[in-house]
Structure 1
Amino acid sequence: MLTRVLVPLDDSPLATRALEHALDEWSDAEVVVLHVVDPLDAIYESEVGGPIEAERWYESEMEATEDLFDRARARAAETDVSLRTATAVGNPGREIVRYVAANDVDHVVLGSHGRRGLERLVLGSVAERVLRRAEATVTVVR
Structure 2
Amino acid sequence: MTEHILVPIDESDPSSDAMQFAIEHHPEATITAIHVVDPGEAFAGTSIEGAASRQDVLESQERHAEKLLEDVREKGESEGVTIETDTVVGNVSRSIIEYIEEHDIDHVVIGSHGRTGASRILLGSVAESVTRRSPVPVTVVR
Q: Normalising by structure 2, what TM-score?
A: 0.91
1:87-98 matches, within 5 Å, as 87-98=87-98
Letter in 2 for 1:10: D
> CA, structure 1 residues 42+136, in 2 after alignment: closer, same or farther (shift >3 Å)?
same
Q: Matches of 1:82 and 1:135 in 2, distance apart? A: 25
Unaligned 5+ runs, structure 2: none
Give the superposition deviation at 1:119. 2.5
SS state at 2:84 partner: strand
Q: How does 1:1-142 map to 2 (within 5 A)?
A: 1-47=1-47, 50-142=50-142
Name whichever of 41-50 and 85-94 sits farther off.
Answer: 41-50
3-state DSSP of counterpart to 1:10: coil
Stretch moving more, 2-11 or 80-89 = 80-89
Q: Number of matched residues?
A: 142
Whether the aligned pair in 1 keeps the contact of 2:111 and 2:140 (CA below 8 Å) is: yes
Structure 1: distance between partners of 2:101 and 2:122 = 26
Report the Cα offset of residue 58 of structure 1: 1.5
The C-alpha deviation readout for 1:84-112, integer Å capped at 9, x for no partner, is 11111111111111111111111101110
The answer as to whether partners of 2:42 and 2:61 remain within 8 angstroms in 1 is no
Seq. identity, %: 39
SS at match of 2:46: helix
Tell me the TM-score normalized by structure 1. Answer: 0.91
Runs of at least 5 residues in structure 1 that lack an aligned partner in the other structure: none
